[in-house]
Amino acid sequence: MTDWKDWIGRSTTSAAWLDPEQANRMAVTLDRAPTFKAGDALPPAWHWLYFHDIVQATSLGGDGHPALGVTMPPVPLPRRMWAGGDFTFHEPLPLGVTATRSSTIRSISEKHGRTGPLFFVTVDHDVEADGRPAVSEVQTIVYRELPTEPTLIGGPVAPTDAEFSETWQLDNTALFRYSALTFNGHRIHYDADYSRSVEGYPNLVIHGPLLATLLLDLAVHQERPLRAFRYKARSPLFLPDAFTVNGRREGQKTSLWAASLDGRLAMEAEAFGHEEAPQA
């Protein structure tokens, strides 16, 4: 097998037609009216609905993702988790056009945490439409060992000073729909037996990208300029528990977070206007 270090710098390019009906499927998954049509702007992070790894079933791993060494480097740890990332938004992506995404593996780093060895894989994605940059994304995935006993669910305490907040109560149908829309085969989101017996979770895990999308959605509905967004997963959320997405204004920046109802921080994020947008 090719050494995983050889994967640094590898690039791929894919194209996708931004079908308005795919956006409408996402809308109804969030219990909203399916009103998207060609020419409408795709909401932030909804490009995740379109650019997928097209991998044959025989090339999948036991967790439902493409096996290590197919689309991601063959690091020697099997348990995949979404760590975080950041976006720069250049222009809205219009529905009804063909967009392209170029992806490059920026770095692979090995670290040792309190639970054992970790591998962090950072991937740059650049999305454009009609030859114009639309979204620049940096995505970080962490790999770790599979647990030998049930995973202890802990995390920092979430802030309590939200200016605006929304409560979500998702179910396994919503998670199945989002998995299908994003072509995400990770079994922790739809196979409760696998999630419990192999990955040590108490139930189905709510997608990290879905939490990031809901935080972005909350920021957009404050009708503030949005130039950049960065987020970090802090602890997982599970069905059937409700959770909140929250935010507060800090100048042109909006601080955001997702939390369990008992106050555990699940994801933290920052959205920036034009003046304060950070460099990725």
User: Which pLDDT belongs to residue 185?
Assistant: 95
The answer to whether 108 and 119 have CB atoms below 8 angstroms apart is yes
- In sequence order, the β-bridge partners of residue 157 are 264
3-state secondary structure labels for all residues of 198-211: CCCCCCCECCHHHH
User: Which pLDDT belongs to residue 225?
Assistant: 86
What tens digit of pLDDT does each residue of 245-273 get? 999 999 889 999 999 999 999 999 999 98
pLDDT-derived band at 1, boundaries 50, 70, 90: very low
274: tokens are 């034009």
User: Which pLDDT belongs to residue 2?
Assistant: 53
What tens digit of pLDDT does each residue of 35-51 get? 999 999 999 999 999 99
User: Which pLDDT belongs to residue 140?
Assistant: 96
Helices within the chain (DSSP H only): 20-29, 172-181, 192-197, 208-220
pLDDT-derived band at 275, boundaries 50, 70, 90: low
Q: Helix 20-29 to helix 172-181 angle, to the nearest 10 degrees?
A: 160
* Fold of domain 4-272: Thiol Ester Dehydrase; Chain A (3.10.129)
Check whether 276 has a pLDDT greater than 80. Answer: no
- Sign for the CA dihedral angle at 212, 215, 220, 221 comes to positive
Q: What's the rounded Cα separation, in Å, for the pair 128 and 12?
A: 14
What tens digit of pLDDT does each residue of 63-111 get? 999 998 899 999 989 999 999 999 999 999 999 999 999 999 999 999 9
What tens digit of pLDDT does each residue of 167-213 get? 999 999 999 999 999 999 999 999 999 999 999 999 999 999 999 99
The answer to whether 80 and 46 have CB atoms below 8 angstroms apart is no
The structure's pTM equals: 0.93
Q: What's the rounded Cα separation, in Å, for the pair 23 and 217?
A: 14
Q: What's the rounded Cα separation, in Å, for the pair 255 and 247?
A: 5
Edge-to-edge order in the sheet of strand 79-89: 11-17, 98-113, 116-129, 132-144, 79-89, 228-233, 265-272, 253-260, 243-250, 164-168
Instruction: Give percent helix, percent strand, percent coil of the chain, each to the nearest 5.
Output: 20, 35, 45
